Chains A and B, each alone.
Chain A
Amino acid sequence: MSADHSRRALLVAAASGCLVAGCKGIAALGPLPKLTADVVTLDHAIADEELMVARYRAALTALRGNRKAAAVATSLLAEHSRHLAALRSRLILPPRLATASPRPSSSPPPLPSGVASVIADLSAAEQAAATRLLGQLKHAPGPLAQLMASIGASEAGHVALLAQARLT
């Protein structure tokens, strides 16, 4: 299955309800169509990355005084931003559905104080995200599963890099 085909499948799965009702105007839309598992999976992966980006932004403020730790956090934030962009590029939702799917909260919990604790907190979040992605692969079409597996591997690598940052 090509990537294009799969992307289209996600769009069609999400949009079919709206497309059918579109010509009758908004009042004819009725209840929202149920989102398919692959769209929900992608949407949750996006929400998780948004949360990770927010967590790193907060961490950067907390790590300002430690140049080395701040440099590591800056480079990892950049990679999470790329993950987020890549995931978002796979999701094409009509505006009405774009706000309709349930989402985890996207503001991170407050950071602990101290450089070592902040790094430990980031590391735990990365490990949890990598593990969560392993469980979500089953709902994804092949090309999306490849992207999610790659992002999970990136996050596992982040744990290793944060461990090195903690040692030095």
Chain B
Amino acid sequence: MTRRAAGRAGDSAGDTASQASVSALQDALAAEEAASYGYGIVGSHLTGFPRQFGAASADCVAHEQAKDSLVGLLTARGAAPRPAAVAYRLPVKVSTAAQAVALAIILERQVESAYLGLVAVPDLALRAFGAEQMQAAAVRYTRWSGHSQAFPGLPQSSAR
């Protein structure tokens, strides 16, 4: 968004690296926005289940916090956070508690893969942040699904 005017030739590697950082941060932010929205739907179908409702509320807060961190990381780099969508098309139909849990599981998988770009950027602080968020998402995935994953976030084809 706020790219500096073309700098000296020596800056181009740094510019490329910071563009990669901003682009990876925007991808992660989009997934966190979608997860925050999605968990609102998840929670609304779990009101009759106090333990699960509590988990959905806690996870929603975690996604809101991650979103705030990503916004801070973007603005610190002079980039404007991409605005959230007004509404999202849900990946599954949700009208029961079981479907709400299924949605939470899908949201966490989407968040895991959305951080994959961030863990490969040259900025090591961003890598660490992305990897921590991947771990947090994998924990939430397991709590909702009762299953573990061998390669959270990686596309099926690359995970052997």
Contacts and interface: CB of A to CB of B under 8 A. Distances in A.
Interface string B97-130: 0000000000000001001100111001001101
Interface string B115-158: 11001110010011011101111110111001111111110001
Interface in A135-168: 137-138, 142-143, 145-154, 156-161, 164
A33 B131 CA distance: 32
Contacts of B142: 157-158, 160-161, 164
Nearest to A76: B148
A61 B147 CA distance: 22
A85 interface: yes
A159 to B, nearest CB: 7
B9 interface: no
Contact of A82 (B139, B146, B159): B159
Given A86-B160, A133-B131, A149-B130, A156 B138 contact: yes
Contacts of A55: none
Contacts of A76: 148
A134 B128 CA distance: 6
B128 A164 contact: no
- Chain B, interface size: which category? 20 to 34
A1 B159 CA distance: 19
A60 B138 CA distance: 24
Contacts of B141: 157
A138 B149 contact: no
Contact of B153 (A153, A158, A164): A153
Interface of B: 112, 115-116, 119-121, 124, 127-128, 130-132, 134-139, 141-143, 146-154, 158-160
Interface of A: 3, 75-76, 78-79, 82-83, 85-86, 89, 130, 133-134, 137-138, 142-143, 145-154, 156-161, 164
- 10 closest Cβ pairs, A-B complex: A142-B120, A156-B135, A153-B138, A157-B138, A160-B142, A149-B119, A153-B152, A149-B131, A79-B150, A153-B134
